[in-house]
Amino acid sequence: MDIAAERIDRLHDLARAAAADGEDERAKHYVRLARRVAERNRLSLPRTFKRFTCDACDAYLRPGVNARVRLQDGHVVITCDCGHHARYPYE
Ligand SMILES: [Zn+2]
């Protein structure tokens, strides 16, 4: 794993920890930083990162807390508190 990928991983952990502490703004800050690192290094973000962050508002999503998850037509639909939906194939 190179340094940029490690940084993204670390920022993902920090975002998750901040979200768990109810520090939503701090979590968003880490999510944005991780996105920036990925962009600058032309890396794609890990799948778990994509699934647990909102593309619209950069929130770190916690199902049952600031996001709702439902299954629909073989897809997982995650709805952020900001109203943004994301759909993923069910695995
Ligand atoms: Zn959102």
Give the DSSP per-residue string, 33-67: HHHHHHHHTTPPPPHHHHHTB-TTT-PBP-BTTTE
Q: Is residue 90 over pLDDT 90? A: no
Strands 67-72 and 85-89: unpaired
Tell whether pTM > 0.95: no
Query: If we measure between CA atoms, which residue out of 41, 11, 36 comes closest to residue 26?
Result: 11
Helices 3-20, 24-40: axis angle to 10 degrees equals 170
In the reported structure, the alpha carbon of residue 82 is separated from the centroid of ligand 1 by a whole-number distance in angstroms of: 4
Q: What residues flank ion ligand 1 with Cβ within 5 A?
A: 54, 56-57, 59, 80, 82, 84
pLDDT in tens, 2-31: 899 999 999 999 999 999 999 999 999 999
Output the known binding site for Zn(2+). 54, 57, 80, 82
* Cα 50 to Cα 40: distance, rounded to the nearest angstrom: 17
